[in-house]
Amino acid sequence: MRIEANLILFFWAFSIFSCLCFSVSSVNFGYRFHSSAIKAEQVKLPRKSSGTNKLYKTKYFTQILDHFNFNPKSYQKFQHRYLINDTYWGGPKKNSPIFVYTGNEGDIEWFAQNTGFMFDIAPHFQALLVFIEHRFYGKSIPFGGDKDVAYSNASTLGYLTSTQALADYATLIIDLKKNLTAVDAPVVVFGGSYGGSMIKIQFKQTLISFLFFSCLILMFWAVLASWFRLKYPHVAIGALASSAPILNFENITSPYSFNNIITQDFRSESENCYKVIKGSWKKIEDTGKQSGGLELLRKSFRICKNFIDVDVLESWLETAFAYTAMTDYPTPSNFLNPMPAYPVKQMCKAIDDPKSGNDTFAKLYGAASVYYNYSGTATCFNLAYSPDPHGLDMWSWQACTEMIMPTSGSNKESIFPENQWNYSRRAAACKAFYGVHPRPNWITTEFGGHDIYRVLKRYGSNMIFFNGLRDPWSGGGVLKNISKTIVAIVAEQGAHHVDLRFATKDDPKWLRDVRQMEINIISDWISQYYHDLAHQS
């Protein structure tokens, strides 16, 4: 069965927390991925001695399609993209380290441009930097690079799995070290979150609501980094996993945790802010049902004239609140959109502004503008469809197969409408769209998760888990030390992988301290490696 292009677009529409509603009798795939909401961080590029000024070089590795079977199709090859920066590398004679970014569900260049910590510390360690793209994303497309073929059905998409991706990374790293005559160079892997999108589906009058988790930008690369260290300890001597929700599988973590943290982020700033947002959903829905209500909503929120819908408008607002909570950074950023420092505080200031009186919609518009229009350049907001600028399409496949994360629950205290996680609805939707049944127990079978503090203490080592408690993903993270070498760093004011961002002069002391702790731990790993290498010799 071929998956039509509009079906694929539907699944990733609305980025991390978008919601869609449609009926079987009249499917509308014109809903929008908020492309304007996703922009690469502006970075200061390292200057090489030769006078060139580039962040990385682009290279390709001939990768095998299937690492785990030996039938003829398994031996097919594809061009696997990776980025490399040798500006500060001490070279193979010194066995200088190699820092590898385990790519996630999108274009690798986007993520490389937003992982400044690796560039910042490369001079200190004289490290080679390598950013490896995840298969089926960006330009690393199997089946001749043809997305129409690669994305066509479950037979081709079946090669898109986390285990295949990890094997890709191991194969590429080993080959790269051989080619660089750097077989003894220590490798440290880095990652900072796989992504997410919440989709509401009205299916024969039944509302199906579930979260498809991707860090997009924001979740999976840290998960992959930690899993890579566990599965390939002979390839990487250590892993820094920032904001990695490795406990968000198979009901290890409460499905209400994610939205509860978002709720607390806003409620901690202002009780009135929390109450206004919490009470707004019914007001929006009631207004939409009234004669002329949709037009009133369109004008209140400055929505462009081409499209307006209550469910999509609510999704648009939910996206703003959820993304802002995740990226509640202490300094201005434009990782997703241009935003001020502490954007949750700024949203609540807009809601609490006495100038808006009792006008709930004016308050919400002011809050949403912090996320969608902080630069002040937007004249209206377009809810209609636009192309995905970062190649996130196929996260929906992973969310329908192995990445089953029960995180969409909202209880009575939640800032979002009350909702229960329902696996059977997720499974039914995945079966309807892809013809596959999810495997909710596979991740914990393959990588573990249950009793992790007892299990990893006995066989794991050299891992850093960073979590900021203002990050909704922290509920599924490792929040306490597992052993002397598996360390949890927890920052009460931290947001999503804030430690991996480029350092700025305005970073608070706690953030500088977190990064210094990470540098010290990585230094210990490398020193121990050199000691063991010399002793072995």
Residue-wise pLDDT tens digits, 66-110: 999 999 999 999 999 999 999 999 999 999 999 999 998 888 998
Reading the chain (537 residues) residue by residue, the pLDDT tens digits are: 433 333 333 333 333 333 333 222 222 222 222 333 333 333 444 443 333 347 899 999 999 999 999 999 999 999 999 999 999 999 999 999 999 999 988 889 988 988 999 999 999 999 999 999 999 999 999 999 999 999 999 999 999 999 999 999 999 999 999 999 999 999 999 997 642 223 332 322 222 333 333 333 344 557 899 999 999 999 999 999 999 999 999 889 999 999 999 999 999 999 999 999 999 999 999 999 999 999 999 999 999 998 999 999 999 999 999 999 999 999 999 887 899 999 999 999 999 999 999 999 999 999 999 999 999 999 999 988 665 666 677 889 999 999 999 888 999 999 999 999 999 999 999 999 999 999 999 999 999 999 999 999 998 999 999 999 999 999 999 999 999 999 999 999 999 999 999 999 999 999 999 999 999 999 999 999 999 999 886
Ranges of CATH 1.20.120.980 domains, the chain: 256-373
pTM for this one?
0.86
Question: Residue 341, Cα to own-chain centre: how many angstroms?
Answer: 20
Q: Is 471 a catalytic residue?
A: yes
pLDDT, tens only, 239-252: 999 999 999 998 89
Concerning whether 496 is annotated as a catalytic residue, the answer is: yes
Q: Which of 34, 134, 390, 496 is catalytic?
A: 496
The answer to whether 497 is a known catalytic residue is no
Q: Where in the chain is the domain with CATH 3.40.50.1820?
A: 57-252+440-535
| Three-state helix/strand/coil letters over 204-224 | CCEEEEEEECCCCCCCHHHHH
Domain 57-252+440-535 has CATH 3.40.50.1820: yes
> How many whole angstroms separate alpha carbon 38 and alpha carbon 355?
31
**CATH dotted code for 256-373:** 1.20.120.980
Token pair listed for 130: 């390598």
Give the C-alpha separation, 120 to 122, whole Å: 6
HSE-up (13 A, CA, CB side) for residue 35: 13
With tokens 């502490």, the residue in question is 342
Q: Share the mean pLDDT of the chain.
A: 85
Query: Which candidate in 168, 311, 328, 471 is catalytic?
Result: 471
For residues 462 and 487, the answer to whether their CB atoms sit within 8 Å is no
Helices and strands: H and E segment counts in the chain: 18, 10
- Whether 245 and 220 have beta carbons less than 8 Å apart is answered as no
* Of 18, 96, 193, 257, catalytic: 193
